[in-house]
Amino acid sequence: MDALWVFLLLLVPLLLWSSSTFVFYFKKCFYVAYMMVLAVFAIPICIFKSGGRDIENMRVIRALVRHVKYFLGLRFVVSGLEHLQTEGPYVIISNHQSSLDVLGVMEVLPDRCTMVAKKELVYAGTVGLVCWLGGIVFINRKKTSDAKSVMVDAAKTMLDDQIRLWVFPEGTRNQKGDLLPFKKGAFHLAVQAQAPIIPIVFSSYSNFYLRKEKQFNSGTITLKVLPKIETKGLTSEDINYLSEKSFNLMRSAFLDISGSAPLTQTNGPKSHH
């Protein structure tokens, strides 16, 4: 038995050194498992601190997760942080490439800010419970009517509790080297609450993380916070205009900080404005 452990202990470094596919799966498994372990520590702290589901628990989550990037060999370069020094509620929108986005979110997450996430996440073991304790708003992506009513409630909560919400308007993970057309939920939310939108753009992960090719190297991610887009005085008639404006600003920033031309041509939301 001892010989088997010695063999495995020698085998793992060898595979990490020689096989990029092994590195990919090793890092992915480590990331998921480690986040689950961190959640085990976060749960009692959140309950002790806030007594249950409370947006203030996002501070605990932020503090516990911030160091994870070092284990994965990732570095973040952030610009435009001053744009998050906005008083009161606002809606943050950002592009969505992988579950690694969480690490970038925790780099810049302002106080009294939580996220909108797919309902399935609540079932992700200890991580799901911590998300619930952090006040994350869960939506059913398959039922538009449910998603819309959740957004109406979220707008009310934003104003009543003076909170901020982080939304991924592409609606799904995307590593195509460009942005996917935006879904309208985040813009309905912002207009309903008459709260500004603050776009945050993550540079492309393609120079260090490729899911299809099974590559996960060390890398640097640029996070760019763009100036806020006001929604005061806008109505549901302006949703397409707002969505298109945000898309074009974010797409331009994404291509700029990723240093690439788009791999595929993605058209933004059609404007009827």
Instruction: Check residue 1 and give its pLDDT.
Output: 66
225 SS3 class: strand
Instruction: Give the single-character DSSP code of 110.
Output: P
Q: Using CA atoms, how far apart are residues 65 and 48, in angstroms rounded to an integer?
A: 19
The string of pLDDT tens digits covering residues 64-122 is: 999 999 999 999 999 999 999 999 999 999 999 999 999 999 999 999 999 998 888 98
Is the Cβ–Cβ distance between 8 and 23 less than 8 Å?
no
Helix (H) or strand (E) holding 92: strand 91-94
Q: Using CA atoms, how far apart are residues 131 and 200, in angstroms rounded to an integer?
A: 21
For the four alpha carbons of 114, 147, 123 and 100, in that order, the dihedral sign comes to negative
Q: Using CA atoms, how far apart are residues 241 and 44, in angstroms rounded to an integer?
A: 44
Kindly tell me if the per-residue pLDDT of 265 is higher than 60: no
Instruction: Check residue 272 and give its pLDDT.
Output: 41
Helices (H), 122-184: 125-133, 144-161
Q: Using CA atoms, how far apart are residues 104 and 94, in angstroms rounded to an integer?
A: 10
Is the pTM of the predicted complex or chain greater than 0.85?
A: yes
Is the Cβ–Cβ distance between 220 and 29 less than 8 Å?
no
Residue 74, beta-bridge partner list = 219
Which whole number is the average pLDDT over 250-262?
85
Say which residues have a Cβ less than 8 Å from residue 33's Cβ, sequence separation at least 6.
none
How far is residue 41 from each of residues 38, 64, 115, 130, measured CA to CA in Å? 5, 9, 21, 10
Confidence at 269, pLDDT banded by 50, 70, 90: very low
